Amino acid sequence: MQIQQSPSFPFKKIGQTTDTPKERKLKEACQNFEAIIIQQMLTAMRKTVPKDGLFTSGYAEDMYQSMYDEGLSKEIASGRGLGLADVLYKQLSGGITPPTK
C-alpha cells in the first residue's frame, strides 16, 4: 500500500528532522498558547477549592501557586499536552512554504 502525498500538506522525508526556523517558531508559539490555556484552566480549577481549613493562605502562597501553575502548564504543553498545539500547528502551517528540493 502506498500513501499518496497531498500537495497542500507535504510529509517530511524520513531522516529529515530539521525544521525551518519558521516551523520552529510556529511550534513554539503554538506550545506557548497551549500553556496559557492550561494555566487558565488550572487557575479556574484552583478557585473552586474551598479555602477554609487550619491554615490561612496569604499573598506568598498565592504567588507560589501562580508560579507553580505557570511551570506546570509549560511542562504539560511541552510534552503531549492537550493536543491544542498540534491542531493549531496543522492549521497555521499551511501558510509556511515547504523547503525547496
For the segment 4-53, what is each residue's pLDDT rounded down to a tens digit? 544 444 444 444 456 788 888 999 999 999 999 999 999 999 889 887 77
Residues 6+ apart with CB under 8 A from 5: 11
Domain range list for the chain:
21-46+57-95
Q: Per-residue pLDDT tens for 2-12?
A: 555 444 444 44
Global pTM exceeds 0.75: no
Q: What residue spans of the chain are helical by DSSP H? A: 21-47, 59-78, 84-92
